[in-house]
Structure 1
Amino acid sequence: MPQTAIDLVHLSRQTGGDAELERELLTLFAQQCARHLRAIHGGDANIRRDAAHTLKGAARAIGAWQVAEAADRIEQQLGQAGTSPREDALDALTLAAAEARAVISRLDCAA
């Protein structure tokens, strides 16, 4: 697993090296991430599962592997009938998302 919260090499491959597109995708991800985290922490199981699934896909697209892995774990836990995500899984997602958003913030400031 990569040591950074965002795999910038993967992101560059995804965007063909277009730095402006990378910034747009990262900004969009940061916004989506906040919205999906709110949905994952509240709402009914279907909304939570859908939010985890969508966040997982968005994270994979930009190379936020830790976010994707944590969202996948929550999606799987919510897929089991009558099951809520475990607190440690929610904590792992919250931390991974915070780390990814911090990297995005630093990159945005450096631009």
Structure 2
Amino acid sequence: MGGEQARRVGTVETHADAERPEAPVDMAHLARYTLGDAALEREVLELFCTQSVTYLEQLRAATSHKDWCHAAHSLKGSARAVGAWRMARAAEYIEALREDIPPEVRAAQIGELETSLQEATAFVANLVGDRGP
């Protein structure tokens, strides 16, 4: 209990917070690394969107378990870096799949990952559009 309480110092979680849907990108998390620099945030998010599509294509094209895990690991790291938590969890799950998982199961997991990427990309496009050039 003491450790749990120590981890909660400085944060107050309300019932309303627990019911609030998770944003596709945790901007508070990203701001810690960019020191709130909006131009840097935009650049990092645009790079994240571009690279994530490339990694997703690599995941789809993977012909070995090693290639599969490498692409999933890259997606997981990119997502965690910007605070795209749903996408990071999907990539983490995919990375941990055993080699003998049927192709239809892999395809379903890629679909979930792609959905989370589309949500993050739409969020970023909206954010970038709101901030202007």
**TM-score, normalised on structure 1?**
0.89
> Please, which of 32, 51, 63 is the counterpart of residue 32 of structure 1?
51
- Separation in 2 of the partners of 1:103 and 1:55? 17
3-state SS of paired residue (1:24): helix
Letter in structure 1 aligned against 2:56: L
Give the structure 2 partner of residue 83 of structure 1.
101
**Gap runs ≥5 in structure 2:** 1-17
Work out the CA distance in 2 between the residues paired with 1:48 and 1:105.
28
For the residue of structure 2 that corresponds to 1:110, the secondary structure is helix
Give the secondary structure class of the aligned counterpart of 1:3.
coil
Corresponding residue of 2:92: 72
TM-score (norm 2): 0.75
Once the two structures are superposed, residues 37-81 of structure 1 have per-residue CA deviations (whole angstroms, 9 ceiling, x without a partner) of 10111122222210110110110010000110000011000xx23
Superposed CA RMSD: 1.6
Helix, strand or coil: the match of 1:30?
helix
Q: Corresponding residue for 2:74?
A: 54
Is 6-15 or 42-51 further displaced after alignment? 42-51
Distance in 1, matches of 2:62 and 2:71, equals: 10
- Bigger-Rg structure (1/2): 2
Q: Which residue of 1 aligns with 2:36?
A: 17
Q: In structure 1, how many angstroms separate the alpha carbons of the residues matched to 2:99 and 2:91?
A: 18
- Uncovered stretches (5+) of structure 1, i.e. residues with no partner: none
Matched, 1:105 2:125: yes
1:84 CA displacement:
5.3
TM-superposed deviation, 1:88: 2.7
Q: Distance in 2 between matches of 1:12 and 1:31?
A: 20
